[in-house]
Structure 1
Amino acid sequence: MKRRLTVVSAGLRLPSSTRMLADRLAEQARRDLEGHGAQVEVCAVEVAEHAQDLVGHLTTGYPSDRLRQAFETVTRADGLIAVTPTFTASYSGLFKMFFDCLEDTALVGKPVLIAATGGTGRHSLVLEHTLRPMFAYLRAVVVPTAVFAATEDWGGGDSQEPLVRRIGRAAGELAGEVRRREPPEIRDPYSDPVPFEDLLHHR
């Protein structure tokens, strides 16, 4: 069975520690799913690339073609990995804007792994205080283990071991949730249009 993983990364530049963490989580989840016989496609959405389109969507109510494609990539995913840098003890504004513009039913029942990066481990509570409540509100299925990576976690050697373990545990939980669900059914809003006569009748 083919499975799709979508990574939403809100780093402000490439390369970034946010994207690096997102890629490592996706790779580990991919390996876990492939180890159980699935074919896995991983797609990445860099939120910073859609910054102007997000502002336009908020002010006009209409997404650009590129932004619509990004939303579809999230909606069609079997599992989502969402990673943000930490700003003022919360997620980044761009990260929040992306999910504010996403269709409010797009994540219902969808397995989501949440993660964040920051300069110090003191910011790690952002995962439980802001990220988890937001995705719970969107009715996603947030896996128990969230991953925070501080600057010191990228030091290499023994300093990376705790991060490696958290990545492995969280990715395994996401893969497990994906495996026990059927692929999402995406309804085409234009597949069953309301007849014009009915529209006139209800005016």
Structure 2
Amino acid sequence: MTVIAVVSAGLSQPSSTRLLADRLAEAAGRHLAGPAENTEIRVIELRGLAVDIANNLVTGFPSPALKEALETVERADGLIAVTPIFTASYSGLFKSFFDVLDNTALQGTPVLIAATGGTARHSLALEHALRPMFTYLRAVVVPTAVYAASEDWGATSGDGLASRVDRAAGELAALLSGAPAKRPAEEKLIPFEQQLAALRPFTTG
């Protein structure tokens, strides 16, 4: 079974962020569908965990509900992460959730990043904020990031929202179908002095 965790940081109800998350999850499941493929989607709404996340930042201990959400992300084969954009970056709630997640939990995990906002001017936040964060966490971020501005929900052009959703979901599904097993969190660290000693002096003939 392939498990995809979906993290939605929408604050309102109903939420365009959750709507985009659901569309991405549905598209990924469709791309993974097959006689030998069984996909389970597990959605995490950060809105209901806001107080628990804040308490965890202060105390260092997660509540049972937050612990379950963190474990869902840690154990998932893939992740879809969607945030609203505020002041040209991800929301504080979104960032705080990944701050309390173990920083090795996403190592080698395929991740699809997406965001919503009122204007297309904020679309680059996916590239200058979200992608670097997940790269730092050593996740494998799919090439296509999906941004949905208010006007995108009714777009009918060839490269509209539906097309971007399908393309990104297909990239995530491809990684999940052919991805090797996730690497263990532990890495063997070679002391810097030892690495220097192994270098041979450069000489010219």
Shorter-chain TM-score tier = 0.7 to 0.9
Distance 2:121 2:128 in 1: 13
How many residue pairs match? The answer is 185
The AA in structure 2 aligned to 1:9 is S
Q: What's 2:169 paired with? A: 171
Structure 1 portions without partners, runs of 5+: 188-203
Listed one character per residue, the Cα deviations across residues 31-78 of structure 1 (whole Å, up to 9, x for unaligned) are 111137310100000111110001110111110111000001101111
Listed one character per residue, the Cα deviations across residues 145-175 of structure 1 (whole Å, up to 9, x for unaligned) are 000000001126x259611110010000000
Structure 2 portions without partners, runs of 5+: 186-205
| 1:57 is aligned to 2:56 | yes
TM-score (norm 1): 0.87
Cα drift, residue 13 of structure 1: 1.9
Distance 2:76 2:33 in 1: 16
- Contact preservation (8 Å) 1:10, 1:94: yes
Residue aligned with 1:134, SS: helix
Residue aligned with 1:35, SS: coil
| 1:46 is aligned to 2:45 | yes
Distance 2:28 2:184 in 1: 23
Cα drift, residue 184 of structure 1: 5.1
Larger Rg: 2
- Contact preservation (8 Å) 2:80, 2:112: yes
Kindly report the root-mean-square deviation, in angstroms, between the aligned alpha carbons of the 2 structures.
1.8
Counterpart mapping for 1:1-203 below 5 A = 2-35=1-34, 37-155=36-154, 158=156, 162-182=160-180
Residue aligned with 1:37, SS: coil
Percent identical? 61
TM-score (norm 2): 0.86
Aligned structure 1 segments of 4 or more residues deviating by more than 6 angstroms? none
Distance 2:179 2:142 in 1: 14
- Contact preservation (8 Å) 2:107, 2:182: no
Structure-2 change in CA distance of 1:36 and 1:130 (3 Å): farther
Residue aligned with 1:114, SS: strand
Distance 2:23 2:13 in 1: 15
